[in-house]
Structure 1
C-alpha cells in the first residue's frame, strides 16, 4: 500500500516540477489569441473554461486502456506501477502537452497535419491513414467493453443474482457471479441479447455525439460522467485502503509477496518479470499498459480540446494535468490487479474466464458492496464511452481536413459520418482479441510519430529537444520489436526481433538528425517580452 501511495505522490510531484520544465521549454504566449476565438464556428471551435476542458480532456483520453491495461500489466508484478509513473511523467504527459500546444499554435490542427508540418508530407500521409484506422479500432473496442459491463449490471440488477454478491471471499464472488447470470433472462432476453441492446444504444449515442456541436451533448453530459468517474476512483481507493487495514482478511500487494513476512524485497519486485515465454516484458508490458502511461490515441483527442482552450497558459493544467490524472486511475486499477487475487495465477484465471471486465466487476462489488459497486462499475463504463464518442468525432474531423470539407453544416458532417459508422459496424464483427492486438500496436505507433513530431518542432527551433527525443526513441524500439515479434506482425524469433527493433530505432534517430533542418532561432509564435526590449 505504501508503494501505491508513493507512486501517486510522485505523479503529483511530476505535474508541478517536470510539467513546469516542459512548459518553459515550449515557451507559452499568453498574449496570442487561441483558435477558440480566431476560428470560432459554434461546432468544434468555441471557448470553454479550463476546468470544463480538463474534465472533457480526461474523459476523452481515459478509455478502457487505463483500467484494462494496468489489470493485465499487473501480471508482471509491482514493476508495472513503475512504468505507469515514469511513462506518465516523462513520456505520456509530455506527449499530450506538446500535441495540445502545437495544435493551439497551428489553428487547432489535427495530429496528421502537425506531423506533416514538422516531419514532412510522407509522414503526414502515413499518419492520416494510421490515425483513422486507430480511431475506428478505438470506437469499436470501446463499444464492446462498456456493453459487456452494462449487460452484467442489467442481469444482476433485474435478474436473480443479487443475492450471491454479499460474499466475503473474492474468488467465491467471481465464481458465483458468473454462475448466477449464465442462465438468466431479463425481460425475456438472455445475456447475448442484452449485450446487443446495449451495443445498439451506445452506437446511437456515438452517432449523436459525432454529429452535434461539442457543447450540445459532450459539454453538458460530461460533468455527470465526471462525477461517476470521481466516485469510482475515490471509492476504489477507499476499498483498497480499508481492506488493507482489515483485521479479519487484510489485502496486501500480491498477497504471496508478503505472506512470509519478508515484505516487498527487490527480488520480489521483479519476480514476475516474464510471466510466460511468449509474453516477455520487453516489449509487451509497454503496449499492454498504454493509456495509463503513454498513448497515441491521446494525440487524436487532444486537438479537440486545443480548439476550445481560451489561453496558452492553461495548457499545462489541461493537457499535462489530465494525463497525470489518468496515471492515477491506472495506478488504482494496477493496484487492484496486484492485491485483489491471492496470486498472479488467480488473476490470470479471472482474466481468462471473463476478460479484465470480470476483474473490474468482481472487485468493485467486493470492496463497495452491491450498490456502491454498481456505481463504481458505471464510473468505469463512462471512460470507454466518453472516449469512443470522441474517437468517431476525431476521425470525422481528420477525414474532413484531408478532403478539405467544411463541417459547419449537418449535411457535410453526415457525408463523412455515415460511411465512417458503416465501416465501424463491419469492423466490429472481427474477434475482439484480434482487434485489441492491432489496437495496441496502432496506438503506440501513433504515440511514436507524435513524439518524433514534437521532437522535430523543438529541434527545428533550437529548443531542448531531448525531452521528446528520448521517449520517442524508447517507444520506437518498443513498436518495432513488437511488430517483428508478435503474430500480428512478422512472428520472428524473439532475439532477432529485439535486434531489428533496436536497429530500426537507430536508423530513425540518424534520419532525424540528418534530414531535419532548423527553421529559425525561435518559434515566431512564442512569447516575446516587449518590456525587455524597451
Structure 2
C-alpha cells in the first residue's frame, strides 16, 4: 500500500505546485467573463464557482477513470506512479489551458479555438474528428451505465433481446435529450449537486474501505509475479507503452475534456476560478482513477474477482459490494452510473454547440435546438444499436473511443502551443509540447499496430511513432514562430 500512498502524495503535492505554476503562466485577471458580456439565459449563464467546479468534474469523469484503471492495473503497481505524474503535467494542464483560452476568447467552443490557432485544413479535420468522438462518447455513455444498471442494480440479464435493456437505455436517452436542449442552469445546474453527492460517496467510500479492510496491494519493489496475479507477465506481454496510456486514458489525459471545459467557460463569473474549476477537477478525476486501480488490485489479489480486462464491468460491482456492503455497494454503483451519464449529456450538448457554431445556427430558439439535437440523437441511436447487436460491437466501439479520445488531445496541445507563441509566452511552450509529443508517439504507435488500425509489427510501429512525435514538435515550433512573427509585424504596422 506504500506505493499507492506515494502516488497520492505525488498527485496532490505535484498538483498544488504545478497547478499554481500553470495559473501564473496564464495570468487570470479581473476582466468581465463571457457569462456576463454574452449572457443569453441558455448557454451563457453566470453560475457559482462551486457549481461550475462540480459540473465540470461530472462532465469530464465518465467511465474512463473507472474502467480504464481497472484494466490498467493489470500492468502492475507502476500504474500508481504513472497515473499521478501524467495527470499533473498532462491531463490537468491540458484541461486548464483549454478552458482558460476558450474563456478569454469569449467563451468559444473547441472547434473555434482550433480554427483561431491553426489553419482551415486542421480545423476541418478537427471538426469531423471531434464530432465522431462526441457521437462515440454519447453511445458509450448510454451503453455502459445502462448495462451496469440493468445487470448489477436491477438484476436483469442486459441481453440485446430483453425489453428491460432497451427501456433503461431509453430512460437515459430521454434524460440526455432534456439535458442537451434545456438551458444549462435549469437541468444540469440543479440536478448535478445530487449526482455529485452520490459520486463523492462512491469514490470516498471505496478509498476509506481500501485502508479499513487492509487491501493487499502489490508494491513497485515487490516481485510482481509472487501472488496469484502475474502482473509482471502481463506487463511484459502487453506492451506497457503504448497500451497502458490508451487503456487508462481519462485518469491521465483525455482530449474529450477540452470540449467540456469549453462549455464551462461560458458560465464562469471570474477567470480566477479557473484553477479550481479546470485544473483541480482533473486532479480529482486522477484521484478517482487511483482509487479504482487500488480497489481492483485489492479484489484481484484477494481472489474475489478474476484479473481479466474483459471483466472490468463485473469488477466494479465486486469492489463496491465487498467494501461497502449490499446497501452501500448499491449506492456506490449508482455513483459509477452517474459518472458516464453526466459526461454523456454534456458530450452531446458540446456537439450541438459545436455544430451550431460551425453552421451558424442560432440556439436561442427551442425549436432549432430540438431540430439539431434530433439529428445527433438519431446517429447516436444507430451506433448504440450496432454496438449492442453485434457480438464484438462494444469492444470495437470502446477501442475506437479510447484511441480517438487520446488523439483529440493533440489538437488542444497544438492550439495551446500556438497561443503561447502568439501571446509572448514562448519560453513556456515546453508545457504543451512535452505531453503533446508523448501522446503523438502513443496514439500513432498504437493505431499503427492495432487490429483496429494498420497491423504493422511493433518495431515498425515504434519507429513510425517516434518519427510522428518528432515531426509534431518540429512543425509546431516552426508554425508557432511563424504565427508569432506575423502577429508582431501586424502590431508594428498598426503602431
Q: TM-score, normalised by structure 2?
A: 0.92
Residue from 182, 185, 190 that aligns with 1:220: 190
Provide the residue aligned with 2:9 in structure 1.
Answer: 9
Provide the residue aligned with 2:330 in structure 1.
Answer: 374
Provide the residue aligned with 1:121 in structure 2.
Answer: 120
Residue from 402, 413, 417 that aligns with 2:369: 413
For the pair 1:468 / 2:432, whether they are aligned, the reply is yes
Residues 1:468 and 1:340: Cα distance change in structure 2 (over 3 Å): same
Provide the residue aligned with 1:519 in structure 2.
Answer: 484
Residues 1:346 and 1:361: Cα distance change in structure 2 (over 3 Å): closer
Residue from 260, 269, 279 that aligns with 2:238: 279
More helix by percentage: 2
Provide the residue aligned with 2:390 in structure 1.
Answer: none
Provide the residue aligned with 2:404 in structure 1.
Answer: 442
Contact 1:60/1:301 (<8 A) preserved:
yes
Tell me the distance in 2 between the aligned counterparts of 1:384 and 1:276: 28
Which of 447-456 and 301-310 deviates more?
447-456
Cα offsets for 1:320-339 (capped at 9, x unmatched): 01000000000000101211
Residues 1:371 and 1:305: Cα distance change in structure 2 (over 3 Å): same
Q: TM-score, normalised by structure 1?
A: 0.85
Q: How does 1:454-533 map to 2 (within 5 A)?
A: 454-463=416-425, 464-516=428-480, 517-519=482-484
Provide the residue aligned with 1:205 in structure 2.
Answer: 175
Tell me the distance in 2 between the aligned counterparts of 1:66 and 1:276: 20
Which of 441-450 and 336-345 deviates more?
336-345
Contact 1:452/1:472 (<8 A) preserved:
yes
**Offset, 1:133:** 0.6
Provide the residue aligned with 2:415 in structure 1.
Answer: 453
Tell me the distance in 1 between the aligned counterparts of 2:188 and 2:304: 40
Gaps of 5+ in 2: 388-392, 489-495
For the pair 1:236 / 2:236, whether they are aligned, the reply is no
**Offset, 1:460:** 2.5
Contact 2:77/2:220 (<8 A) preserved:
no
**Offset, 1:348:** 3.1
Gaps of 5+ in 1: 157-180, 245-250, 258-262, 524-534
For the pair 1:433 / 2:395, whether they are aligned, the reply is yes
Cα offsets for 1:393-414 (capped at 9, x unmatched): 0000000011011101011112
Tell me the distance in 2 between the aligned counterparts of 1:344 and 1:74: 15
Tell me the distance in 2 between the aligned counterparts of 1:508 and 1:264: 33
Tell me the distance in 1 between the aligned counterparts of 2:51 and 2:221: 43
Tell me the distance in 1 between the aligned counterparts of 2:350 and 2:248: 23
Contact 1:36/1:47 (<8 A) preserved:
yes
**Offset, 1:290:** 0.9
**Offset, 1:55:** 0.2
Provide the residue aligned with 1:54 in structure 2.
Answer: 53
Provide the residue aligned with 2:108 in structure 1.
Answer: 109
Contact 2:260/2:350 (<8 A) preserved:
yes
Residues 1:447 and 1:87: Cα distance change in structure 2 (over 3 Å): same
Cα offsets for 1:257-311 (capped at 9, x unmatched): 4xxxxx6526649983662777311111001011111000101111110111111
Tell me the distance in 2 between the aligned counterparts of 1:521 and 1:190: 57
Cα offsets for 1:212-269 (capped at 9, x unmatched): 000111111000000001110111012211110xxxxxx301xxx4xxxxx6526649
Q: How does 1:73-472 map to 2 (within 5 A)?
A: 73-156=72-155, 192-244=162-214, 251-253=215-217, 257=218, 264-265=220-221, 268=224, 272=231, 275=234, 279-342=238-301, 347-349=306-308, 351-352=309-310, 355-428=311-384, 429-430=386-387, 431-463=393-425, 464-472=428-436
Contact 2:43/2:266 (<8 A) preserved:
yes
Tell me the distance in 2 between the aligned counterparts of 1:55 and 1:26: 22
Which of 78-87 and 372-381 deviates more?
78-87
RMSD after superposition: 2.3
**Offset, 1:9:** 2.5
Contact 2:305/2:318 (<8 A) preserved:
no
Tell me the distance in 2 between the aligned counterparts of 1:134 and 1:397: 15
Tell me the distance in 1 between the aligned counterparts of 2:302 and 2:440: 33
Tell me the distance in 1 between the aligned counterparts of 2:282 and 2:235: 31
Tell me the distance in 1 between the aligned counterparts of 2:13 and 2:162: 46
**Offset, 1:522:** 10
Provide the residue aligned with 1:528 in structure 2.
Answer: none
Contact 1:462/1:520 (<8 A) preserved:
no
Provide the residue aligned with 1:175 in structure 2.
Answer: none
Contact 1:461/1:521 (<8 A) preserved:
no
Tell me the distance in 1 between the aligned counterparts of 2:454 and 2:290: 33
**Offset, 1:486:** 0.6
How many residue pairs get aligned? The number is: 476
Tell me the distance in 2 between the aligned counterparts of 1:203 and 1:145: 13
Residues 1:432 and 1:37: Cα distance change in structure 2 (over 3 Å): same
**Offset, 1:423:** 0.6
Tell me the distance in 1 between the aligned counterparts of 2:150 and 2:198: 18
Cα offsets for 1:480-502 (capped at 9, x unmatched): 11111111111110110000011
Residues 1:127 and 1:19: Cα distance change in structure 2 (over 3 Å): same
Tell me the distance in 1 between the aligned counterparts of 2:237 and 2:222: 24
Residues 1:520 and 1:269: Cα distance change in structure 2 (over 3 Å): farther
**Offset, 1:344:** 9.4
Residues 1:97 and 1:521: Cα distance change in structure 2 (over 3 Å): farther
For the pair 1:29 / 2:13, whether they are aligned, the reply is no
4+ runs deviating over 4 angstroms:
343-346, 520-523
